[in-house]
Structure 1
Amino acid sequence: MTGSESGFIELDGVEKVFEVRRKTGFMKRERRQVRAVDSISFRVASGEMVGYIGPNGAGKSTTIKMLTGILTPSAGRVRVAGIDPSRDRIRLAHRIGVVFGQRTTLWWDLPLIDSYRLMHRMYRIPDARYRENLDRLVELLGLADLLDVPVRQLSLGQRMRGDIAAALLHDPEVLYLDEPTIGLDVVSKAKVREFLRELNAERGTTVLLTTHDLQDIEQLCKRVMVIDHGRLMYDGPLTGLHEAGESERTLVVDLERELPPIEAPAPARVVRVDGPRQWLAFPAAESAAPLVAGIAARYPLVDLSVREPDIEAVIAKMLHPREEKPGDTSRDAPGQAAGNTPGDAPNPPERATT
């Protein structure tokens, strides 16, 4: 187990079981149990920034909800800063911050600054501390021109930055981020990541991050945990995850003209050719620089890009290894980079509660 023996966040044999009813016939319903989290144990030390990843429905959000006190575990023990979240949720709320990527803690019809004023009162933040934190967060997250704008008029990236500021106004010791960069453009993602790095370095805030964007993990976290079907399958450094899952990145090469498949040194290999464009797969744990340099020296190169492995593909391969068929490029469809997510929905998001 990576992390300290006695962590700031502690889970011991935690389970969460839901009872689901489904119709099986006329006037008949069947009840069955769904185990969303299955005997999970881990520790997160104060000041750690940890990635918590897995496929959709793996149990990530359920874990976060138990850590915040929204859900009560069916079995096992949960402690955050020595507090049982489900028994003392109000006291814990003053020590944690939560950002749900597809929900918001902001008031949809009010200007952004009004949401912050309401939180000032709700958390009973001392006036001087509130002003200091607000000024700092507004500057670091680039919110100065947005404070008087109603939340409904903010773009997804602007709203996400607003939500992160709201979660940090009361100086929480731990920050839970559930898909914080979902649907954001490249610039917004970069701003959020840089802010989180500074927050962790300067204030020692403990961060537990769930995301499907592997770049979030690579740029922010030294440690990663993988959950699948409610079970913790991996806990260690990111490089170890790549090795365990034998994940691959994809180098997309545009040549001046159509040519036979590029001759690349093993283990890199061409997995697709479409006119002058070729796709080459290579181990995610290896640098792309030598491969790029070799191709540039031998071929008429016009452009290239590197696509990161889709996190679900990494985990699927780690948990269910299989022989890759020649020409199998389903995960590298043209024009679709890994991790791309549709933009904001037209309807207001659901407000999160903690």
Structure 2
Amino acid sequence: MSAVVSVQDLTKQYRYTKRGRGFAGLAGRREVVVDAVAGVSFQVRAGERVAIIGPNGAGKSTTLKMLSGVLEPTGGAASVLGLVPWRERKRLAYRIGVVFGQRSQLWAELPARDSFALLRRIYDQDEAAHRARLSDLVERFALADLLDQPVHRMSLGQRMRCEITASLLHGPELLFLDEPTIGLDVTAKAAIRDFVREHARDHGQTVLLTSHDTRDIELVCERVIVVNQGRIVVDQPVDQLRRRFLARKVVTIQSVGEAICVELPGVVRRPAPAHTTILEVDTAKARVEQVIAAALAQGGIEDITIEDPPMEEVVHEIYAAVR
């Protein structure tokens, strides 16, 4: 597949003057240069769902803003859908959807329906195509009861569902999501994750997402780019990240007895309620098959599940490795 996003040595610097006390008590000034993005290079193929993650200030949002044309870089090059974002921003806007978690593209005093109608005009969309796409999005996102409600009266979760709908009404090929679930409750987060994943899969849409929520990464994306201090330190598929940073498995055993005792090198028991035994297995020291065999030998086993550690632990290990 061809690359829809291509980035080479992209940089963004901010300069400011820092005031201080100079020699002999005289006021002094000096220019400070901060590298928000320090020479990142990557490509995203059509249909990929990619997460950009990293600590606060790592350069994630700045990168998305440059790729969507909001910011002009200090150096380097980028192509998005064959266009240079900061030079061809208007042309690009017709082909991408953008959602910044803390920035609204809806009119607060207007009902959502009116905002959607205005966006049809802005993007010069055919009325029949707009109506069909809106109907599909309203149904899939359960928005029927919200269409005639002013945006400022909506909960944050309701507004974010409308924000994502607005970003998709013109049929974009590429969707940029910057912290789309920030501040939402568990139910609202699940609804947005499920929708983005399914919509991208059904329409072959490319998604580039930033988030601090590990479940966004785990449930929506197939690939993770880890940024630290403006530089890419890891770029791998999610399953490879797990194998690279956590050579561990989590074995959960449901039993008739209160607990199952497995004493093998590399096996650590985690806290768990009665009749549940959770074992963390270092696969470099013990095979999962050995652990299961030792558990079954004790009898009274009702169920066994084998899982990778949660993505949150993977991200923690990544951050620890790149400090």
TM-score range, shorter chain: 0.7 to 0.9
Aligned mate of 1:11, from 7, 12, 22: 7
Shift of the alpha carbon at 1:16? 1.0
Shift of the alpha carbon at 1:22? 2.9
Indicate the SS of the match to 1:309.
helix
1:249-291 CA distance string (max 9 Å, x none): 98999x9xx99x975655442477999999865679x99xx88
Shift of the alpha carbon at 1:183? 2.4
In the alignment, does 2:191 pair up with 1:163?
Answer: no
Aligned mate of 1:314, from 314, 317, 321: 317
**Which AA in structure 2 matches 1:168?**
L
Q: Note the 1:63-74 alignment, pairs <5 A.
A: 63-74=63-74
Distance in 1 (alpha carbons) for counterparts of 2:20 and 2:248: 43
The answer for the alignment partner of 1:347 in structure 2 is: none
- TM-align CA RMSD: 3.6
Distance in 1 (alpha carbons) for counterparts of 2:158 and 2:127: 25
In the alignment, does 2:114 pair up with 1:118?
Answer: no
Residues 314/153 of structure 1: CA separation in 2 closer, same or farther (3 Å cut): farther
Query: How many residues were matched structurally?
Result: 308
1:315-337 CA distance string (max 9 Å, x none): 212324xxxxxxxxxxxxxxxxx
Residues 202/297 of structure 1: CA separation in 2 closer, same or farther (3 Å cut): same
**Which AA in structure 1 matches 2:319?**
A
Residues 200/29 of structure 1: CA separation in 2 closer, same or farther (3 Å cut): same
- The structure number with the bigger radius of gyration is 2
**Which AA in structure 2 matches 1:140?**
R
Distance in 2 (alpha carbons) for counterparts of 1:188 and 1:229: 31
Distance in 2 (alpha carbons) for counterparts of 1:248 and 1:101: 34
Distance in 1 (alpha carbons) for counterparts of 2:267 and 2:149: 50
Q: Note the 1:92-171 alignment, pairs <5 A.
A: 92-171=92-171
The answer for the alignment partner of 1:59 in structure 2 is: 59
Distance in 1 (alpha carbons) for counterparts of 2:108 and 2:48: 33
Residues 219/37 of structure 1: CA separation in 2 closer, same or farther (3 Å cut): same
Distance in 1 (alpha carbons) for counterparts of 2:311 and 2:75: 37
Identity %: 41
Structure 1, unmatched stretches of 5+, are 300-305, 321-354
**Which AA in structure 1 matches 2:11?**
E
Residues 308/80 of structure 1: CA separation in 2 closer, same or farther (3 Å cut): closer
Shift of the alpha carbon at 1:88? 1.0
Distance in 1 (alpha carbons) for counterparts of 2:313 and 2:57: 16
The answer for the alignment partner of 1:269 in structure 2 is: 268
- With 108-117 and 273-282 compared, the bigger mean Cα shift is at 273-282
Shift of the alpha carbon at 1:208? 0.7
1:216-274 CA distance string (max 9 Å, x none): 22222222211111111111211222233338798999x9xx99x97565544247799
Shift of the alpha carbon at 1:109? 2.3
- With 115-124 and 243-252 compared, the bigger mean Cα shift is at 243-252
Q: Note the 1:242-281 alignment, pairs <5 A.
A: 242-246=242-246, 267-270=266-269
Shift of the alpha carbon at 1:125? 1.3
Shift of the alpha carbon at 1:214? 1.9
Distance in 2 (alpha carbons) for counterparts of 1:283 and 1:113: 54
The answer for the alignment partner of 1:21 in structure 2 is: 17
Distance in 1 (alpha carbons) for counterparts of 2:227 and 2:184: 24
In the alignment, does 2:182 pair up with 1:182?
Answer: yes
Residues 120/21 of structure 1: CA separation in 2 closer, same or farther (3 Å cut): same
**Which AA in structure 2 matches 1:138?**
V
1:46-94 CA distance string (max 9 Å, x none): 1111122111111110110000111111111111111001111111100
Distance in 2 (alpha carbons) for counterparts of 1:273 and 1:208: 37
Indicate the SS of the match to 1:29.
strand
The structure 1 segments of at least 4 consecutive aligned residues displaced by more than 6 Å after TM superposition are 247-253, 271-280, 295-299
Residues 220/275 of structure 1: CA separation in 2 closer, same or farther (3 Å cut): closer
Residues 62/275 of structure 1: CA separation in 2 closer, same or farther (3 Å cut): same
1:147-203 CA distance string (max 9 Å, x none): 111212211211111110000010011000111122222322222122122222221
Contact kept? 2:218, 2:311, Cα under 8 Å: no
Distance in 2 (alpha carbons) for counterparts of 1:273 and 1:220: 29
Contact kept? 1:245, 1:319, Cα under 8 Å: no
**Which AA in structure 2 matches 1:116?**
F
1:94-135 CA distance string (max 9 Å, x none): 000011122221222222112212211211111111111111
Indicate the SS of the match to 1:34.
strand
Contact kept? 2:242, 2:314, Cα under 8 Å: no
TM-score for both structures, normalised by structure 1: 0.74
Shift of the alpha carbon at 1:9? 0.6
Contact kept? 2:20, 2:29, Cα under 8 Å: yes
